[in-house]
């Protein structure tokens, strides 16, 4: 049985912010509920108030502006996101990652913003969002909206910069580079579906002939991380591509800090980082 709580289902964003202001520490936002309700059932969280944001029209928008980017509201489910025509076209690597989260039924309810706010180091949506330069728009009752790059949003295992009276209104992903090729590789313990043992998102594109590569990981550090040093490697002149890949893999394996847990040992995870990154980079440079 879930612990006892009061339930609010505000119809507007300002109502929700008012409730947050009032209850702050003792409140949790519920959207899909697929992480929150499990934590509550396990008694890891016992919020006295739940604020359901699913009825707020402002938070259910998914809006694309050509040349600018796409905005995905806090209550937009993965299903709604995947059905939006632009997502597959422009943000395929994110769609690929999202399709590895849970299963199709879970994705009818779970939300992208929920995944970010839950801030698991294994969050599958995070690596693609990081390499796509996603930004988080945070709002509270008094201060209006502030925008923070996703990279600065995560600060620890299941910890974000959000204050108790704040909510993420939406995620903004800028217009991606033209003709980029991106891929998310999720290493699991099984073939079907699992939490991520090691996840790596990469994208590559040519900018005036120059090869640009971006790489980000999940499940290998306290937060999902983008390894910017790798990007520098690919910018180097006079280095053969094979050497660049080798160097990038070496740097990645130094920048990650996987732990040993019930899903895998640190040693094995490090091996997966090396193998998955090598294969991914080879594929990226092969296509672009």
Partner 1 sequence: MGRKMIRFKINGVEKIVEVEPNKTLLWLIREELKLKGTKKACERGDCGLCTVLLNGEPVKSCLVLAVEVDGSEILTVEGLARDGELAPIQRSFIEHGALQCGFCTPAFLIVGHWLINKNPNPSREEVVEAMNGILCRCTGYKSIIDAIIDAAKNMRRA
Partner 2 sequence: MEALKYVGKSITRIDALEKVLGIAEYASDIELPGMLHAKLLLSPHAHAKIISINYEKALTVPKVVSVAVGDDFPSRVGLYVNDRNVLAKKKVRWAGEPVAAVVAEDLEAAEEAVELIEVEYEPLPAVLDVREALKPGSPLVHEELGEYAHSPAFNPIPGTNIANRFTLKKGNIVEGFNKSDVIVENEFYMPQVSHVPMETHVCIGHYMADGNIKIWTSAQSPFTVRYILSHSLGIPLHKISIYTPHVGGGFGGKAGINFEPLVVLLSKKAGYRPVRLELTREEHFLAAPLRQGFYAKVKTGVTRDGKIMAEKLFYAFDAGAYADYGVNVARAAGYSCTGPYYVPNIETESLAVYTNHQWGTAFRGFGHFEFLWAIERQMEILASELSMDPVEFRLKNALLPGLTTATGEVLREDAGRIDQCINAVAEELRWGEKPLTKDTKKVRAKGIAALWKAPAMPPNAASAAIIKFNEDGTILLSVGVTEIGQGTVTSLAQIAAEELGVPVEKIKVVPFRHTDLTPYSWQTVASRNLFMEGRAVIRAARDAKEQILEIASQVLRAPKDDLIIRDEKVWVKGRPEWSLHLKDIVAGYVYPNGNTIGGPIIGRGYFVGTRLSYLDPETGQGYPALKWTFGAQGVEIELDLETGEVKVLKLVSAFDVGKAINPMLVVGQIIGGGIQSLSLGVWEQYVYDDKGKMLNPNLTDYKIARAGDIPEEIVPIIIENPQSDGPYGARGVAELSMLSVPAAIANAIFHATGVNINDLPLTYENIWKALNRKR
For partner 1, which residue of 12, 14, 38, 83 counts as binding (CB under 8 A)? 38
Q: Give the SS3 label for residue 222.
A: coil
For partner 1, which residue of 16, 20, 27, 34 counts as binding (CB under 8 A)? 34
Residue 143's alpha-carbon distances to 53, 54, 153, 166, in angstroms, are 19, 23, 18, 10
Of 49, 56, 55, give the one whose Cα is nearest residue 23: 49
For partner 1, which residue of 52, 58, 246, 247 counts as binding (CB under 8 A)? 52
Q: How many CB atoms lie within 10 A of CB 227?
A: 25
From the list partner 1, partner 2, none, which binds 102 (C-beta under 5 to 8 Å, kind-based)?
Answer: partner 1
Site map (CB under 8 A) of partner 1, residues 195-214, x = contact? --------------------
**Number of residues in the chain:** 288
Residue 126's alpha-carbon distances to 10, 14, 55, 130, 150, in angstroms, are 28, 28, 25, 6, 8
CB nearer partner 1, residue 101 or residue 281: 101
The enclosing H or E element of 56 equals: none
For partner 1, which residue of 3, 57, 149, 156 counts as binding (CB under 8 A)? 3
Number of C-alpha atoms within 13 angstroms, CB side, residue 30? 22
Bridge partners, residue 28, by sequence: 50
CB nearer partner 2, residue 132 or residue 276: 276
Interface stretch with partner 1, choices 6-14, 20-28, 210-218, 240-248 (CB under 8 A): 6-14
Of 213, 218, 229, give the one whose Cα is nearest residue 185: 218
Least distance in angstroms from the C-beta of 149 to partner 2: 31
From the list partner 2, partner 1, none, which binds 109 (C-beta under 5 to 8 Å, kind-based)?
Answer: partner 1
| Residue 276, both tokens | 């998955």
CB nearer partner 2, residue 54 or residue 263: 263
For partner 1, which residue of 84, 109, 263, 279 counts as binding (CB under 8 A)? 109
d(CA 54, CA 180): 34
From the list partner 2, partner 1, none, which binds 21 (C-beta under 5 to 8 Å, kind-based)?
Answer: none
CB nearer partner 1, residue 106 or residue 211: 106
Least distance in angstroms from the C-beta of 244 to partner 1: 35
Bridge partners, residue 217, by sequence: 200, 225
d(CA 246, CA 239): 11
CB nearer partner 1, residue 6 or residue 232: 6
For partner 1, which residue of 193, 207, 232, 267 counts as binding (CB under 8 A)? 193
How much is the CA Rg of the chain, to the nearest whole Å? 19
Cα 191-35-173 angle, rounded to 5 deg? 80
Q: How many CB atoms lie within 10 A of CB 263?
A: 17
103 contributes a contact to partner 1 by CB under 8 A = yes
Which residues contribute to the site for partner 2 (CB under 8 A)? 1, 187, 189-195, 262-265, 268, 271-272, 275-276
15 contributes a contact to partner 1 by CB under 8 A = no
- By the criterion CB under 8 A, which residues form the site for partner 1? 1-7, 9, 30, 32-34, 37-38, 41-42, 50, 52, 54, 79, 102-106, 108-109, 192-193
């Amino acid at each position: 049985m879930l612990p006892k709580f009061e339930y609010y289902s505000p119809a507007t964003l300002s109502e929700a912010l008012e409730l947050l202001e009032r209850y702050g520490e003792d409140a949790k936002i519920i959207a899909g509920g697929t992480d929150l309700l499990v934590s509550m059932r396990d008694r890891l969280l016992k919020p006295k108030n739940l604020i359901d944001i699913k009825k707020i029209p402002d938070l259910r928008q998914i809006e694309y502006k050509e040349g600018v980017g796409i905005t995905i509201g806090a209550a937009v489910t993965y299903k709604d996101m995947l059905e939006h025509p632009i997502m597959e076209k422009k943000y395929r690597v994110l769609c690929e990652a999202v399709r590895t989260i849970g299963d199709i039924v879970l994705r009818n309810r779970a939300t992208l913003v929920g995944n970010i706010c839950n801030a698991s180091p294994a969050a599958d949506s995070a690596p693609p969002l990081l390499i796509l330069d996603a930004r988080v728009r945070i709002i509270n009752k008094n201060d209006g909206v502030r925008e923070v790059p996703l990279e600065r949003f995560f600060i620890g295992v299941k910890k974000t910069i959000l204050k108790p009276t704040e909510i993420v209104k939406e995620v903004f992903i800028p217009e991606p580079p033209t003709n980029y090729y991106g891929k998310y590789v999720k290493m699991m313990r099984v073939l079907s579906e699992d939490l991520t043992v090691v996840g790596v998102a990469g994208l590559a594109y040519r900018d005036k002939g120059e090869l640009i590569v971006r790489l980000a990981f999940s499940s290998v550090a306290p937060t999902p991380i983008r390894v910017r040093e790798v990007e520098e490697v690919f910018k180097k002149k006079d280095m053969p591509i094979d050497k660049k890949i080798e160097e990038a893999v070496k740097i990645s394996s130094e920048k990650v800090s996987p732990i040993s847990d019930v899903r895998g040992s640190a040693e094995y995870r490090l091996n997966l980082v090396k193998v998955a990154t090598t294969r991914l980079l080879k594929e990226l440079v092969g296509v672009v």
